[in-house]
Amino acid sequence: MRHGGQILADQLSKRNVRRVFSVPGESFLAALDGLYDSGIDNIVCRHEGGAAMMAEAYGKLTNTPGVAFVTRGPGATNASSGIHIARQDSTPMVMFVGQIARGHRDREAFQEVDYRAMFAPLAKWVAEVDDTARLPEYISRAFSVAMSGRPGPVVLALPEDMLSAQADVPDLILSTSTTADLAAPARTIMAHLNTAKSPFVIVGGPLWTASASAALAQFAEAAALPVVTTFRRQDYLDNRHPNFCGDLNVGLSPSLAKRLQAADCILALGTRLGDIATQGYKLLDPAGHGKALIHVHADPDELGRVYTPTLAINAPAPALVEALAQTKPDPIAPDLTTTMRAEYEAWRTPKPTPGDVQLEQVIAHLSETLPEDAILTNGAGNYAAFLHRYFCYKGVKTQLAPTSGSMGYGTPAAISAALEHPDRPVICLAGDGCFQMTLNELSTAAQYSAKVIFIICNNGQYGTIRMHQEKTYPARVSGTALFNPDYAALAKSYGGVGFTVTKTADFPAALDAARASNSLAVIELRLDPEALSTGATLTQTRQAATKP
């Protein structure tokens, strides 16, 4: 006989879960007890949103479900931001939520929430376990659903009396499945590509691997095809590869946008082709775009959901691209690839911005000096556009960023990455607005010796919103100004080291000192608010909006 918490912990151990992220609550004390002797690291966070984001980042890094534990009511609502990220980013994740006792339901008991109703639009599957003996069944299904088709988050609510009750029930062991032979679909894809004059490969989606990246490089080089990645999937192909031609992000290169519009055949590997990649569905109109669209996706429900493909192939993109590499293709578009590569190189040549600290030069220095396996994380804000445009990603699993555009993500993601890969440099780039949303997790970093270097881009404002504000209501600044603490002093208060950079030339020394400290480190960059974005200054943005 085991209590429910022990059964739960045993199920996680059998699924090789090595680490969970939590904020403790009285609603799942039995689960905490089960974890006590499990050998599973329980990383205690400072906010449920941070715990959920750390679990989501773990899912991205490992291609296995990240696991979070949060308490009922406000704990679950706090964690919902991480569930939304996992859903939009197609990241496997399982979140366990403590719940009120079964006998108290429907009385609006203390912190009572109907989690099926609450998480239904956000999660792949939501359930509440009423029977202790059925815990292995529910947990097995939760991990299966989180990984199947298009991966995503699963939420299981655990009534506290169910968890503390005992049951004599065997464990369930997950079985593994093999991928079907994809040689025939790969040949069909090649038949379409070989008739194209302006073909285009777009890579995105979840669960990418190093072997898939190598296969993509091999295939693209042999077939002489231009490859672009979707928003915040830049590490899927070494950006130095001659066939890498950029990424479809919010600050899209105008030349790349024109190439996408001019393409006559698109091979979409793993991506959903969402609104960011297509610039609000303008570059690729779902109602009709006049192109041959080959859509490869692991979830059959995604094929034809927005776009009607010419050829739909239900398969995991990493497996399919490995099959494509085995077709030994002849060159298809060498001139187009060379031209697009040159356009990409021109686009990522740093464009000077105003101020004593130039973010484009900071990013260029990071790109040139960090080890190839360094992991960079970020949340949302105009500062991130500098990272996406000027940093050269060289290996798989070196970019952790939310395709959902969630602010505050970079800090917890970096902590998760540093715990998973303590031997690799981890750099979090964050705006002053983004960082202040989750800076309480510095305490988590300090507690577990997560050696992260946080680079804070301080321009005293919510820069992205200010940019849109100036475009729409020029010179009418409202609700975008920020007060900032002394970030270097904050780092020191957590036992780390802190630096304040007021001149570009001082950044390399600060980075070297931060790396040499072998501890939590913060580098604050004092940026000029005039340096609003990679494409235009604040004044230029305002002037463009006021032109008749």
- The residue count of the chain comes to 548
pLDDT of residue 108: 87
Q: Classify domain 359-546 by CATH number.
A: 3.40.50.970
> Does residue 245 sit in helix, strand or coil?
strand
pLDDT of residue 177: 65
Q: In 3D, which of 224, 262, 446, 170 has the Cα closest to residue 341?
A: 224
> Which residues does 226 contact at the CB level (< 8 Å), separation at least 6?
199, 200, 201, 220, 243, 245, 259, 333, 336, 337, 340, 341
Contact 402, 434 (CB under 8 A): no
Residue 225 has φ and ψ, to the nearest 5°, of -120, 140
Residue with the two structure tokens 């519009």: 261
- Looking at domain 183-347, its CATH class is alpha beta
Per-residue pLDDT of the chain (548 residues; tens, 9 = 90+): 999 999 999 999 999 999 999 999 999 999 999 999 999 999 999 999 999 999 999 999 999 999 999 999 999 999 999 999 999 999 999 999 999 989 888 888 888 889 999 999 999 999 999 999 999 999 999 999 999 999 999 999 999 999 999 999 999 876 666 668 999 999 999 999 999 999 999 999 999 999 999 999 999 999 999 999 999 999 999 999 999 999 999 989 999 999 999 999 999 999 999 999 999 999 999 999 999 999 999 999 999 999 999 999 999 999 999 999 999 999 999 999 999 999 999 999 999 999 999 999 999 999 999 999 999 999 999 999 999 999 999 999 999 999 999 999 999 999 999 999 999 999 999 999 999 999 999 999 999 999 999 999 999 999 999 999 999 999 999 999 999 999 999 999 999 999 999 999 999 999 999 999 999 999 999 999 999 999 899 999 999 988 87
Contact 159, 142 (CB under 8 A): no
d(CA 310, CA 193): 12
Contact 504, 356 (CB under 8 A): yes
Token code pair at residue 495: 């036992």
Domain boundaries, the chain: 2-167, 183-347, 359-546
- Looking at domain 2-167, its CATH class is alpha beta
- Two domains, one topology: 2-167 and 359-546: yes
d(CA 488, CA 497): 7
